[in-house]
């Protein structure tokens, strides 16, 4: 393999079990910090177990702050490019267009399913309590789903390939 600057290109070095374990530990830390949901964590973990070089692991940490795996070269990390403008909101949080769910920063992920499950009961109660066209309260059910999960809906079911990979690595 030839290289222009006389040194090996960052990221093309093969990795072993120790490096994969370091990458998995870093992903664990990001999941515990709430930066990765269960599905995204699993997808990245499967990619780490299949990785043979640092170049295959670096993109998995391109959108995450520290910690990164110990020994991972920093050269060649490609930052993610935003598809829209990024502007801070009044609360100081960054509003990125296209991210799922308007309430994604307001309601923690662990409570979204509970809020969604209680929404029909709240709509039913309001149907009987309020005067006028009470049936409009039932529109709160899909609206709450869109606000919580975005227009794409809740996609936590693993794909066939992910289920196969999970069975293979058990």
What's the confidence (pLDDT) of residue 3?
A: 42
Decide: residue 124, CB within 10 A, 0-12 exposed, 13-18 middle, 19+ buried.
middle
Has residue 114 been placed in a domain? yes
Q: Let me know whether 59 and 103 are in one domain.
A: no
- Residues forming beta bridges with residue 14, ordered by sequence position: 53
What secondary structure letter does DSSP report for 126? H
Of 154, 137, 150, 140, residue with least CA distance to 103: 150
Q: Are residues 76 and 108 in the same domain?
A: no
Closest by Cα among 52, 61, 58 to 75: 58
Parent domain of 124: 99-170
Cα 170 to Cα 165: distance, rounded to the nearest angstrom: 9
In the 8-state DSSP scheme, what is residue 94?
Answer: E
- State the total domains in the chain: 2
In angstroms, the CA 51 to CA 20 distance is: 8
Give me the tens of pLDDT residue by residue for the chain, a chain 170 residues long.
444 333 345 557 788 888 899 889 999 998 998 888 889 889 999 999 998 988 888 888 888 888 888 878 764 444 444 444 444 444 444 444 444 566 656 777 778 888 888 999 999 998 899 888 888 888 888 888 888 877 655 556 667 777 777 777 76
Same domain, yes or no, for 118 and 75? Answer: no
3-class DSSP state for residue 114? helix
What pLDDT is stored for residue 121 in this prediction? Answer: 92
Structural domain ending residue among the three candidates 49, 80, 111: 80
Q: Long-range contacts: 85-88, Cβ < 8 Å, 24+?
A: none
- List of residues 6+ apart from 158 with CB closer than 8 A: 39, 42, 166
Rounded to an integer, what distance in angstroms lies between the CA atom of residue 125 and that of residue 73?
A: 57
Is 62 a member of any domain?
yes
In-domain check, residue 149 = yes
Asked if 75 and 116 sit in the same domain, the reply is no
- 157: closest CA among 31, 33, 43? 43
> Domain for residue 152, yes or no?
yes
């Amino acid at each position: 393999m030839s290289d222009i600057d006389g040194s090996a290109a960052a990221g093309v070095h093969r990795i072993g079990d120790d490096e994969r374990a370091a990458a998995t530990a870093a992903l664990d830390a990001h999941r515990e910090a709430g930066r990765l949901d269960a599905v995204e964590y699993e997808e990245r973990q499967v990619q780490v177990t299949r990785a043979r070089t640092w170049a295959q692991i670096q993109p998995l940490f391109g959108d995450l702050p520290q910690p990164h795996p110990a020994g991972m070269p920093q050269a060649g990390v490609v930052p993610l490019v935003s598809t829209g403008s990024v502007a801070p909101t009044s609360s100081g949080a960054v509003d990125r267009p296209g991210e799922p769910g308007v309430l994604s920063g307001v309601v923690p992920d662990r409570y979204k399913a509970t809020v969604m499950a209680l929404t029909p009961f709240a709509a039913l109660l309001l149907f009987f309590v309020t005067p006028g066209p009470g049936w409009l309260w039932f529109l709160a059910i899909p609206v709450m789903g869109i606000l919580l999960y975005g227009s794409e809906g809740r996609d936590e079911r693993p794909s066939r390939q992910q289920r196969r990979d999970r069975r293979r690595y058990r």
